[in-house]
């Protein structure tokens, strides 16, 4: 767990893990507990008293040791119970927002050392996880599943809207009529899909083994999403390597909802980062900028040709150069220019003409 953040800390106590099984036993018995996941020298310096255990971890042992008042120290991966009935003495000058003794100690210990600290509240029957300056109170599984399913419904709707604008983009690409406005519409919807999926990923971390069905549904809804998102950036904005793709995606992720939904503002942001020569003019009026024509390289449409190997798609893209040139070719011509098997050439041409 060394160097991990709050997300990894939550994974260690997710349903289905041995540690969560032990914590649930403590909750059911309406007991409290303070557990530190880490036995580094820095952690042990905060410990006084208690007993040296050095036994393999089991949920049953954690439950029995929690009957004593002190903290329980586990190894960093939770496989060993190192000490029990320990009194933790963090710096009392560290600020804390907690009121209960157990939770005040947990917050201060988490801020003092690189370890995950878990506090089980006897009165409230809740589990709180602390990592550095972050705290997360675990929600009941039924409540998490309800929120995750609501997010899944939203994800499905937004993916449907994204597919609609992508379908409209297909015909415009082949006629070389795509404007920056069209691309911005796609990026808006793609970023919304990404944000909703990110929210679901957060629920899945806490759901652990109980989130398998949600994970499968989310994966099905977002099938090929990342590839299409990246291909749109590469096709129209001159983005080539992974670093440039990441930079633009991080830019879109950093925008607040109002900025993302403002077509003009988003177009300005994209124009500043894009490498397209046609977007390099800062003096364009809003209407002129949104109307800038953006020719396509055709990566996305090529990647949707059934069973077409990526190596062949990359070769066609490299040797033909643009979707407009590719769309005007006959199969024999494509096979000659790109050096691909005639059967693949026929499949590519047939697929592109299906959008006309």
Q: Is the pLDDT of residue 280 over 60?
A: no
pLDDT, position 276 = 60
For residue 243, is it within any domain? Answer: yes
346: left (phi over 0), alpha (psi -120 to 50) or beta: alpha
Task: For 167-177, write each residue's pLDDT tens digit.
Answer: 999 888 888 89
For residue 1, is it within any domain? Answer: no
Same domain, 227 and 273: yes
Same domain, 266 and 279: yes
Using only C-alpha atoms, what is the Rg of the chain?
27
Q: Is the pTM of this model over 0.85?
A: no
Same domain, 269 and 309: no
Same domain, 277 and 341: no
Confidence band of 1 (pLDDT split at 50, 70, 90)? very low
Q: Which domain holds residue 270?
A: 142-290
Q: Is the pLDDT of residue 137 over 90?
A: yes
When pLDDT is averaged across residues 340-348 and rounded to a whole number, the result is: 87
Same domain, 147 and 286: yes
Mean pLDDT of the chain: 90
CATH of the domain at 212: 1.20.1260.110
Reference 231, options 280, 284, 167, 299; nearest CA is: 299
Q: Is the pLDDT of residue 258 over 60?
A: yes
Same domain, 227 and 348: no
State how far the Cα of 268 lies from the Cα of 285, in Å rounded to an integer: 10
Question: What total number of domains does the chain contain?
Answer: 3
When pLDDT is averaged across residues 107-115 and rounded to a whole number, the result is: 95
Cα angle 99, 104, 108 (rounded to 5 degrees) comes to 150
Same domain, 150 and 134: no
Same domain, 227 and 276: yes
């Amino acid at each position: 767990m060394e160097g991990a953040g709050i997300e990894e800390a939550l994974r260690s106590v997710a349903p289905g893990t041995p540690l969560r099984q032990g914590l649930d036993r403590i909750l059911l018995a309406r007991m409290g507990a303070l557990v530190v996941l880490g036995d580094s020298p820095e952690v042990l310096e905060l410990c006084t008293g208690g007993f040296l255990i050095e036994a393999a971890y089991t949920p049953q042992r954690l439950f029995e040791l929690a009957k004593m008042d002190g903290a329980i120290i586990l190894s960093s991966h939770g496989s060993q119970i190192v000490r029990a009935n320990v009194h933790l003495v963090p710096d009392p000058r560290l600020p804390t927002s907690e009121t209960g003794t157990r939770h005040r100690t947990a917050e201060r210990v988490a801020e003092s050392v690189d370890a995950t600290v878990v506090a089980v509240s006897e009165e409230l029957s809740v589990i709180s996880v602390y990592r550095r300056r972050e705290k997360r109170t675990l929600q009941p599984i039924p409540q998490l599943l309800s929120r995750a399913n609501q997010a899944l419904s939203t994800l499905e709707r937004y993916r449907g809207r994204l597919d609609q604008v992508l379908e409209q983009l297909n015909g415009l690409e082949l006629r070389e009529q795509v404007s920056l406005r069209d691309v911005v519409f796609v990026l808006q919807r793609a970023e919304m899909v990404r944000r909703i999926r990110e929210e679901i990923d957060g629920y899945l971390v806490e759901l652990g083994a109980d989130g398998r069905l949600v994970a499968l549904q989310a994966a099905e809804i977002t099938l090929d999403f990342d590839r299409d998102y990246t291909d749109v950036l590469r096709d129209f904005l001159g983005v080539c390597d992974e670093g440039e793709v990441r930079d633009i995606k991080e830019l879109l992720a950093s925008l607040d909802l109002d900025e993302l939904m403002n077509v003009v503002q988003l177009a300005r942001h994209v124009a500043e980062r894009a490498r397209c020569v046609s977007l390099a003019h800062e003096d364009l009026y809003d209407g002129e900028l949104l109307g800038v024509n953006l020719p396509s390289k055709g990566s996305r449409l090529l990647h949707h040709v059934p069973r077409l190997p990526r190596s062949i798609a990359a070769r066609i893209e490299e040797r033909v150069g643009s979707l407009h040139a590719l769309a005007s070719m006959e199969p024999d011509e494509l096979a000659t220019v790109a050096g691909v098997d005639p059967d693949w050439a026929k499949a590519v041409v047939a697929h592109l003409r299906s959008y006309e």
